[in-house]
Amino acid sequence: MKIQELNTISKFYFGHEEIAKVLGISIPSSKVSANRYVSQGLLVRIKRNIYVLKERWAFLEREKKFVLANLAQVPSYISLMTALDYYEITTQIQRDFIESVAVKRTKEIAVENTVFNFTKIKSNLYIGFKKEKDFFIATPEKAFLDALYLMSLGRYSFDSASINFSKLNRAEIKKLAKKFPLRTQKLLKKNGYF
């Protein structure tokens, strides 16, 4: 079966071009083959032209799924409780639920047993993230402020008792908070976060 030849692709995700090359077929034929393999449960489609072999998907580590989250909606970065969990700042663990912040749209993508959740924020708040390994992720302080900002809008909730505030840089939070709306800053002070 030609699907076995796809195992020779070294990247953990790939597109029609790699499928065409490995199978020795045209790109239009590779699109048809990819759709058929997705229907047969042999490939997992992340979005158009981004696929993962089903057998690899089952063993993907969290960081690889973060890369896929960044690709599923561009631009975006990992944030909120997912980032705080990654930095070991919260005890709220979200298995198979990856939260990102984006500037285009709020949406949710379910891929197999994983949910990629994207929350839209204003473009002027699309700051405070870095490239870690192969993915973009909020700094710990920005992930916390993103959660607080969305909470101030009534679009998010989290258990503040789960946050280890000693792992957050107070000065960095105060500096970043100035860029957020007044209601976010008031919520920060009202709840005595800092």
Quote the domain boundaries for residue 127: 62-190
Q: Estimate the crossing angle of helix 170-177 against helix 182-190, to 10 degrees.
A: 150
DSSP 3-state assignment of 116?
strand
Task: Collect all residues with Cβ–Cβ distance below 8 Å to 89 and sequence separation of at least 6.
Answer: 140, 143, 144, 163, 164, 167, 168
| CATH at 13 | 1.10.10
Residues 117, 95 share a domain: yes
**Predicted pLDDT at 194:** 64
> Looking at the structure, do residues 77 and 147 belong to the same domain, yes or no?
yes
Give, for all 194 residues of the chain, the pLDDT tens digit. 577 899 999 999 999 999 999 999 999 999 999 999 999 999 999 999 999 999 999 999 999 999 999 999 999 999 999 999 999 999 988 789 999 999 999 999 999 989 999 999 999 999 999 999 999 999 999 999 999 999 999 999 988 889 999 999 999 999 999 999 999 999 998 877 76
> Structural domain tally of the chain?
2
Q: What is the pLDDT of residue 4?
A: 85
Say if residue 106 is in the same domain as residue 124: yes
**Residues 6 or more apart from 68 whose CB is under 8 A from it?**
13, 46, 50, 52, 60, 111, 116
- pLDDT value, residue 95: 83
Classify residue 163 by its DSSP letter: B
Specify whether 94 is located in the same domain as 169.
yes
Closest CA to 100 of 52, 67, 64: 67
DSSP designation for 128: S
